[in-house]
Amino acid sequence: MNDDRRSRVLRAIVEDYVATKEPVGSKALVERHSLGVSPATIRNDMAALEAQGLIAQPHTSAGRIPTDKGYRKFVDTIDEIKPLSVAERRAISRILSHPVDIEDMLERTVRLLADLTSQVAVIQYPVRSREKFRHLELVDLGANRLLVVFITDSGQVDQRIVEMRTGIDEFELGTLRTLFNSVLDGRALDDVAPALRVLDVPATLAAPAAIVAEVVAELASGRRQERLVMAGTANLARSSGGIYEHVAPLLEAFEEQVVLLKLLAHMSADGVSVSIGHENPESLATTSVIASNYGTEDSRASLAVLGPTRMDYPTTIAAVRAVSRYITVILDK
């Protein structure tokens, strides 16, 4: 009985602190929540929660705030995720419908998640485990410049402008285009660079072919690298009096992306995962991360929302879950 009541007290403290940003006292709990006990009993329960490391006293105020351990207990005992409103579901459908391409869909997704949660949203580019080369286009831009366009079977397009040492005529350009496409046709991206290392080209085209081959190998490798799209960094300034503590290391983590990618890989699982405060790497130790996988069987990636540990977890979990499911349906079409 005591454990059940203390769980309800902890839930009330979390909800009030998230809503007000102020430490929560026993009197406020009695006034705002139907806990059915006296303030003295609530104070005893708060003392027990503090002894368990679930809440703490930030200063001389009589109020308490949740610790990382307290937030974890709260999240693990959420028995019902708040459903999105009709307006929120309609917004997801409207914003994510009919994207121009994968880049457009990812940009829309992170902006939508950032708006729905008022936090920072990130999404990882889906990486197909069996992605293959489809076509290479070479376009003469004049002034010894060449546009190299690299296209995969998933419809992904990457391009690069390269400086050639000498000019190249249309016949030579066509010869290179035909040669590269015939050698690389249908190859997995992992096989592109090895195939180019043994490319047999006419001696007169050896120099331009070497330049193009180097660029194509980089583009193929880049397609397999994990990348992130991000939105909502301005939301970092909306916590605790307008300034989110430890913004600098967090922004550095966003900039490098390596920390985030490793964390998302560690969190990857079916459904929604939550990592809170010191469960994260040091640069994200004041942050909570709510992540979910999305995509098809051979093209999986992650999306996530990041914000202060003082976060509306039920609402954010619901948003992450709904958006990940929606874009999975889009990709599966």
Q: What is the pLDDT of residues 135-170, one digit of tens each?
A: 999 998 888 889 999 998 877 788 899 998 888 889
Do residue 108 and residue 190 come from a single domain? no
Q: What is the mean pLDDT of the chain?
A: 84
Q: In whole angstroms, what is the distance from residue 169 CA to residue 256 CA?
A: 42
- pLDDT at residue 50, as a whole number: 92
Do residue 200 and residue 291 come from a single domain? no
Do residue 53 and residue 66 come from a single domain? yes
- Please state the rounded mean pLDDT for residues 9-18: 92
Q: In whole angstroms, what is the distance from residue 269 CA to residue 294 CA?
A: 10
Find the range with the poorest average confidence among 97-111, 184-198, 257-271.
Answer: 257-271
Cα-to-chain-centroid distance, residue 268: 11
Do residue 239 and residue 258 come from a single domain? yes
Do residue 101 and residue 44 come from a single domain? no
pLDDT confidence of 181, banded at 50, 70, 90?
very high
- pLDDT at residue 154, as a whole number: 74
Q: What's the domain count of the chain?
A: 3
Report if residue 206 sits inside a domain.
yes
- pLDDT at residue 242, as a whole number: 43
- pTM, full prediction: 0.70
CATH number at residue 270: 3.30.450.40
Do residue 37 and residue 56 come from a single domain? yes
Residue 111 predicted with pLDDT over 50: yes
Report if residue 81 sits inside a domain.
no
Residue 105 has which token pair?
């869909």
Do residue 315 and residue 235 come from a single domain? yes
Q: In whole angstroms, what is the distance from residue 87 CA to residue 211 CA?
A: 53
Report if residue 112 sits inside a domain.
yes
Find the range with the poorest average confidence among 15-19, 92-96, 98-102, 221-225.
Answer: 221-225
Report if residue 182 sits inside a domain.
yes
Contacts 24+ apart (CB under 8 A), 206-213: 207/165, 207/166, 208/146, 208/164, 208/165, 208/166, 208/168, 208/172, 208/176, 209/176, 209/179, 211/146, 211/162, 211/164, 211/165, 212/138, 212/146, 212/148, 212/162, 212/176, 212/180, 213/180
CATH number at residue 180: 3.30.390.60
Residues pairing with 132 in the sheet: 188
Do residue 23 and residue 59 come from a single domain? yes
Q: In whole angstroms, what is the distance from residue 193 CA to residue 66 CA?
A: 52
Do residue 113 and residue 259 come from a single domain? yes
Residue 67 predicted with pLDDT over 90: yes
- pLDDT at residue 249, as a whole number: 65
Domain that holds residue 102: 86-125+226-331
Residue 251 predicted with pLDDT over 80: no
Residue in 267, 271, 273 with CA at minimum distance from that of residue 290: 273
- pLDDT at residue 1, as a whole number: 56
Residue 177 predicted with pLDDT over 90: yes
- pLDDT at residue 243, as a whole number: 42
Report H helices in 151-257.
170-184, 192-197, 206-224, 247-256
Residue 29 predicted with pLDDT over 80: yes
Do residue 178 and residue 56 come from a single domain? no
- Please state the rounded mean pLDDT for residues 206-211: 91
Structural domain ending residue among the three candidates 181, 201, 224 = 224
Compare 225 and 10 and report the one with higher pLDDT.
10
Residue type, 189: L
pLDDT confidence of 54, banded at 50, 70, 90?
very high
Report if residue 276 sits inside a domain.
yes
Compare 14 and 101 and report the one with higher pLDDT.
14
Residue 203 has which token pair?
């001696």
Following DSSP, what letter does each residue of 297-311 receive, concatenated? Answer: TTEEEEEEEEEESS-
- Please state the rounded mean pLDDT for residues 1-24: 87
Residue in 240, 194, 238, 200 with CA at minimum distance from that of residue 216: 194
Report if residue 68 sits inside a domain.
yes
- Please state the rounded mean pLDDT for residues 226-246: 68
Q: In whole angstroms, what is the distance from residue 107 CA to residue 110 CA?
A: 6
Report if residue 114 sits inside a domain.
yes
CB 152 within 8 A of CB 134: yes
Do residue 264 and residue 182 come from a single domain? no
- pLDDT at residue 241, as a whole number: 44
pLDDT confidence of 93, banded at 50, 70, 90?
confident
Residue 100 predicted with pLDDT over 90: no
Sign, CA torsion 277/280/282/284: negative
> Helix, strand or coil for residue 85?
coil
Report if residue 172 sits inside a domain.
yes
- pLDDT at residue 245, as a whole number: 55
Q: In whole angstroms, what is the distance from residue 54 CA to residue 69 CA?
A: 5
Do residue 152 and residue 263 come from a single domain? no
